[in-house]
Structure 1
């Protein structure tokens, strides 16, 4: 049961999603503070107002706060751009490199494997060279080959 849960959590897209949500939530708070503190007052100032009615208009006593809406759009665009360029783009580049096979080459065989390969090759050469007298394995094991009867 725990192995299945671990496999689910360790999937690439689940981890990416979790990272995106956490970073997005934290960064959105920063961007919202920035846009509420600097961008929204600029929108209200540019729209020709100051005070409570800046960035709004009234229709039959109902207030439409377009400065808050524009501010929310700017907050979303800044957050989306930062998440794309700091999280999504680097992960996509890494995945593309893996797909193209630009991973490090495989390690050279260990020294044990190299020695065993050399021994095998020497034994094969000796068996071929010895012909009728027997193989190197027989020589090493002090076995003698019986002459044919």
Structure 2
């Protein structure tokens, strides 16, 4: 029981539970916003009544409520946009500001297996071949002024 209690009280599980509850409340808020404001605006623009939830069509005596799907698509787009612009974008900016990406080490190819290895490496990590010093100032004709 102690292990189970420790698992439940870990920060990740509690954070996940809070996120799910807040997400459900936010989803309900967005659904009602779509029903109250956006679908009437779309209805005014399109010339329809604005309430898509009542829109249906029949095929072989079966009723298909496609209006509910339209409302769900509008709600999804709004939720996705809000999450992107108010959560993801600011978090990416904060991470870039406070945790800048380290510059990657210059790479070169192993002469034996052509695997990319760091320029300062003396041995290839893939084939373990010894790699000689890098000749930076080599002339394209093959003449090395340091020899």
- Scaled by the length of structure 2, the TM-score of the pair is 0.47
Q: Which has the larger radius of gyration?
A: 1
TM-score scaled to structure 1, two decimals? 0.46
